[in-house]
Amino acid sequence: MSSVRSSSLGFPRIGEQREWKKNLEAYWNQKISKEDYVTKQKALRLENLQKQKDAGLDLIPVGDFTHYDHVLDTAVAFGLVPDRFSYDGGEVDLDTYFAIARGNDNAVAAEMTKWFDTNYHYIVPELNGREPELVHNRWLTLIEEAKKELHIVGKPVILGPVTFVKLSKQYGNRSFVDHVRSLLPLYTTVLNELANAGVEWIQVDEPILVGDVSDEEWSIIEEAYDWFAKSAPDAKILLQTYFEGIGALDRATKLAVAGLGLDFVYSNSLEQLKGTDFPKDKTLAAGLIDGRNIWRTDLTETHSIVKEILTVVSEEQLIIQPSCSLLHVPVTLKHEQKLESDLKAALSFAEEKLTELDQVKSVVNKENEPERLQAGKEAIEALNQSASRTNKEVREALERSKKEDSKREVPANKRMELQQEVFQFPSLPTTTIGSFPQSPEVRKTRLQWRRGEISNEAYEAFINAEIKRWIDIQEEIDLDVLVHGEFERTDMVEFFGEKLGGFEFTSNGWVQSYGSRCVKPPIIYGDVYFQEAMTVKETLYAQSLTEKPVKGMLTGPVTIYNWSFPRTDLQPGDVVNQIALALEKEVLALESAGITVIQVDEPALREGLPLKRSKWTDYLNQSVVAFQLSVKSVQPETQIHTHMCYSDFQDIIQAIDGLDADVISIEMSRSHGELITAFEDYTYSKGIGLGVYDIHSPRVPTEEEMETSINRALQVLDQRIFWVNPDCGLKTRKEPETVEALKAMVKAAKNKRKELLVK
């Protein structure tokens, strides 16, 4: 008897208590040996596989676990190590692997950027002329481990060659197509070795297919999978996509693969499928459970979708699964003891999503009655009926805002003149992005305060002492615009969510952002509203300690939305604008307190850009309006800053200009200065700082290196608008390296000022 099977695309790496992160950092800080580290990570890897086996998955993903990042894993498996790391061939050792991701004393780290439209960061491979070779079939090693240790014949998860090259930096004379072709024999070896090891399915991820795919890209995709069909005929490839739908689904169904994975949550794949003659000899892997958000699934609706899918494909052709890897959601709800019952009942993390998947499978396969699927729908309906979800004043303010102009009244050029009269900044003014190192003592004291082990007064005294210490450090370094350091904040979104109405928080809902960095996204469950001043006290205290301006530091509405788990019963634009209107009140509170430089960070604006260009305009227009709403009422003399990081800005430079911020700071050094090209064809006339050093690496850059970055920027930007700053906040760095780097940065700026005066 045929039956529908279940699968998953990947599982969170970090462990229920962030064991993965703790193991990494213990190794980096030389608190455990390499052998201990490897042993601990193996145990966690096997624990993750066992969880999925216990959840009833028919096809368990293997190879999604990593020491840092799955894209980096793919690069080093093929020996693609940047030349600056002195690699001599062979399997890449662990320390070189980490050096590529984090940099070392002799070489800067590889670029890091966002994985499609998520808050996960991947390490960008560099195809710098080195001929790729298969130096380690890591997927085979992990398959053999799962088989030996747990008797699991897993489903290997591999990043496909076309997406891998598309996401890489392609250097030299070799074309995109030639880079892909150079990898095909290596992938063939991997596929054949896996097939010989007895795996049934091999998941090859090609999420690049859900964007705007050019004819050249389609041609090389077809060529690549034709190659595999001929050179690895025993490998059953499941070509997996996610995050959106495939535009040319008819073309995708003709690819020479045994199965095709589609996202049915974030796309119109169902309607496409019903209009497609899906091949009878192919398997369809349908992504039906939301892998990116934490709300329970209405399984009655999911069951209905499955029944519609089964009008196109047979049961033996169908695999059901989450919409994407569960990497993007927390591990389990079991540790959440403090959430309100109505809210908790409506949530589903990775383990719960696998349970939901199994419930659907059992009903589809007639092992259980459809009534078993009602609980999720009932939990969602109960939450929607909760009075805490709706705020009349917020809804009325939102409607009023739609009828008003969102821009500041005084134009940017006039504001610039007024602000220069007020601040009298030197040329190439220096500042930082906001946060300073959060030492173990800071984290420990905050935890003690949260647990009630120290009083509010003792905690405030501690925070004030840190603020004063860092104001003194900044004065000594001679920065021009100072910050209070954000020592009272755990995370730039969580902090504001805790103080705004409409948010709720988990105790252990961590997800990986990059490397060992994990974040705990807030849950937006109700209408968002301002309750009381959130940042005024600390900022005003810092300002009382110095004659120099201190920036008020806020996180912008788009970033708060994108880095939260948002409600899905309202349109995204309405939720974002609710956040913007709440933040506007905080901006005005800062201004009223005498803070006249205010930064509203939007590092996530670019990452939320839809994967299809046809949807860009609406998203960018909405994002611009939201930012403008958050600052529209300030006086023209108040200088509004914003910050963005790890993004390709060339395509959205007009939207960035449209934000109408007085000063914007953008990451540049991690992209090794390539961002400069965005300003070669676009005249930007407002203040701008292109980060002159990479803060995500422990490496301290030299004064000369930063002068080079400044010179590169001034080739395309007017010196009167250019600011000098690091790439991003310094929260994750250690104090000595931070102070040393900032001293070098200020010296580099001063050297350039002198040079400009001479000219």
Which is nearest to 51 in space by CA: 16, 91, 93?
Answer: 16
Helix (H, G, I), strand (E, B) or coil at 501: strand
Q: Does the pLDDT of residue 669 top 80, yes or no?
A: no
Contact 108, 52 (CB under 8 A): no
- Given 67, 121, 484, 696, which residue is catalytic? 696
Is 622 within the bounds of a domain?
A: yes
Average pLDDT over residues 290-297: 97
Which residue's structure tokens are 């095709």?
Answer: 260
Strands, sheet with 283-289, edge to edge from the N-terminal-most edge strand = 5-6, 318-322, 283-289, 259-263, 237-240, 202-205, 155-159, 61-62
Per-residue confidence (pLDDT) for residue 674, from 0 to 100? 60
Is 616 within the bounds of a domain?
A: yes
Is 587 within the bounds of a domain?
A: yes
Is 697 within the bounds of a domain?
A: yes
* Total number of domains in the chain: 1
Lowest mean pLDDT among 108-117, 160-169, 480-489, 665-674: 665-674
Is 699 within the bounds of a domain?
A: yes
Q: Which residues pair with 601 in a beta bridge?
A: 555
Is 447 within the bounds of a domain?
A: yes
State yes or no: 563 annotated in a binding site: yes
Per-residue confidence (pLDDT) for residue 673, from 0 to 100? 55
3-state secondary structure 150-211: HCCCCEEEEECHHHHHHCCEECCCCCHHHHHHHHHHHHHHHHHHHHHCCCCCEEEECHHHHC
Contact 708, 411 (CB under 8 A): no
Range of the domain at 681: 392-401+411-758
Maximum distance among all alpha carbons in the chain? 85
Q: Please report, for the chain, how many H helices and E strands are present, in that order.
A: 26, 22
b/e map of 180-194 (b: 16 or more CB within 10 Å)? bbbbbebbbebbbbb
State yes or no: 20 annotated in a binding site: yes
State yes or no: 518 annotated in a binding site: yes
Per-residue confidence (pLDDT) for residue 715, from 0 to 100? 87
Query: Residue 558 is encoded by which pair of tokens?
Result: 């788009």
Share of the chain above pLDDT 70, in %: 98
Q: What is the pLDDT of residues 581-607, one digit of tens each?
A: 999 999 999 999 999 999 999 988 888
Is 635 within the bounds of a domain?
A: yes
Q: What is the pLDDT of residues 48-89, one digit of tens each?
A: 999 999 999 999 999 999 999 999 999 999 999 999 998 989
State yes or no: 19 annotated in a binding site: yes
| pLDDT tier for residue 306 given thresholds of 50, 70 and 90 | very high
Assign residue 271 a region (left: φ > 0; alpha: ψ between -120 and 50; beta: otherwise): alpha
Q: What is the pLDDT of residues 7-36, one digit of tens each?
A: 999 999 999 999 999 999 999 999 999 999
Which residue's structure tokens are 């699968």?
Answer: 7
Query: Residue 373 is encoded by which pair of tokens?
Result: 């699927």
Which residue's structure tokens are 């190659």?
Answer: 227
**Does the active-site annotation cover 696?**
yes
State yes or no: 564 annotated in a binding site: no
Cα dihedral angle (552, 557, 558, 560), rounded to 10 degrees? 80
CATH number of the domain enclosing 656: 3.20.20.210
Q: What is the pLDDT of residues 486-533, one digit of tens each?
A: 999 988 898 999 999 999 999 999 999 999 999 999 999 999 999 999
State yes or no: 102 annotated in a binding site: no
Is 518 within the bounds of a domain?
A: yes
State yes or no: 434 annotated in a binding site: yes
